Amino acid sequence: MYDMTEFIESLVSPQTRRSYKFALATFEAWYKKPVKDLLSEPELTRLLEKYWVYLKETYKSNTPRSKFNPVLQYVKFNGIEPKIRKSLHVHKQIVSVNDHVLSMVEVRKMYGVSSLEEKIMLKVWMLGLRVSDASLLEWTDFDFGESIDELKEVRIVTKKEETPAFLYIDREFQILLKHYLPTIDQENKFLLQSNKGGRYSEKQLIRKIQALRDRAGIKTTKVFGWHIGRDLVLTTGVNLGLNSWGLKIMVGKSTGASIWSYISHVNLKTDADILRRALRMEVEQNGGNGAHKKIEEEIEFISKVVAKVVRELRGDQYRTSSTGMGLVVRKSDREALEEYLEET
């Protein structure tokens, strides 16, 4: 039998340890006994179900789930698997209506009033990572030297779910990094560095984006946390019609172990290019050649989206063509669209 201290020490994240301690304290106040006594209860499952009903009657939204799960995990940590009735929905996550719905217009406002370091932080925010993973990014992974491409790929393993994340760094981000990296402490391995050495904590990163929100004049009464940036990235990808598991890989969200043996070498650059263009910070608004270039880029962007949908709907017919010399080449977006329009 493991006591609560051993269970808490087995958790990786300091933030998770704190939240689990509070949750277990809530249970002990209701139970009126130490949590370890729960393990010897003859009607353990029945007791847990009664506790869940109490939480649902006492708290709102996802609070019952966040307070119940640590108790359940403690029981499982001790080798007991309670069979709780499915009808209670103890694992169901309720969509929160208390979060601020972030838009790219607001992110660009924040970007417009930010310092170089803050611009780097905002670009990291728009990678869609959890705050714990953003805090642990290392600058050497983002040191691309003098070369600047449309997209650079950085692969990391996330902390909470221990799943790979394929991060795509666009040209805008690369240019910022080229100016930012020479200014940081090269002896400090973290990309987002605290003034006291080491890295910014998760709470510090959240406070920094909230300070930028206020400086940009964004008014809201809703929760403005790091996770709303992750929501924006995923929502933008879904609205663009991008592949759902591809989006999960790009933000380091678990896709399930069964699929990884098939997609570990997947190339997500086409989808990443579409997503990164939609999430870029600086949008040209001047006239002349700049405006023409902007229009051309938007046309190219729309063509990529439409061609991708056509290929997925109609299959290989619009993917490749034969040269007549035994070679098969990939059709360009324009070729695929022209052929589709001729047929329709």
pLDDT of the residue at 326: 44
Q: Buried b / exposed e across 184-206, counting CB within 10 Å, b at 16+?
A: eeeeeebbbbeeeeebbebeebb
Predicted confidence band of residue 327 (pLDDT cuts 50, 70, 90): very low
d(CA 221, CA 47): 38
pLDDT of residue 314: 62
- Which pLDDT score, from 0 to 100, does residue 152 have? 95
- Of the residues 26, 59, 88, the one at which a domain ends: 88
pLDDT at residue 46 tops 90: yes
pLDDT of residue 194: 93
pLDDT of 212: 97
Task: Check whether residue 83 and residue 108 sit in a common domain.
Answer: no
Co-location of 252 and 320 in the same domain: no
pLDDT digits (tens, 9 = 90+) for 250-282: 999 877 666 666 666 667 899 999 999 999 998
Q: Are residues 20 and 56 in the same domain?
A: yes
Q: Which residues contact 121 (CB under 8 A, 6 or more apart)?
A: 114, 192, 205, 208, 209
pLDDT (tens digit per residue) in 100-133: 999 999 999 999 999 999 999 999 999 999 999 9
Percent of the chain with pLDDT over 70: 78
Q: Is residue 295 part of a domain?
A: no
Instruction: Tell which phi-psi region holds residue 241, choosing left (phi > 0), alpha (psi between -120 and 50) or beta.
Output: left
| Of 162 and 145, more confident | 145
pLDDT value of position 196 = 87
- Confidence (pLDDT) at 115: 95
Residues 6+ apart with CB under 8 A from 175: 148
Asked whether residue 297 is assigned to any structural domain, the reply reads no
CATH of the domain at 124: 1.10.443.10
pLDDT of 10 over the 90 cut:
no
- The verdict on 111 and 184 lying in the same domain is yes
Angle, nearest 10°, between helix axes 116-125 and 104-112?
160
Residues 274, 237 share a domain: yes
pLDDT at residue number 344: 58
Range of the domain at 79: 4-88
284 is a domain residue: no
Task: Say how far apart CA 171 and CA 135 lie, in whole Å.
Answer: 22
> Greater confidence, 136 or 297?
136
The band of 72, judged by pLDDT with boundaries at 50, 70 and 90, is very high
**Domain contains 24:** yes
Number of domains in the chain: 3
Structure tokens at 142: 């983002």
In terms of domains, do 123 and 186 share one?
yes
pLDDT digits (tens, 9 = 90+) for 184-240: 999 999 999 998 889 999 999 999 999 999 999 999 999 999 999 999 999 999 999
pLDDT value at position 322? 47
181 with 319, same domain: the answer is: no
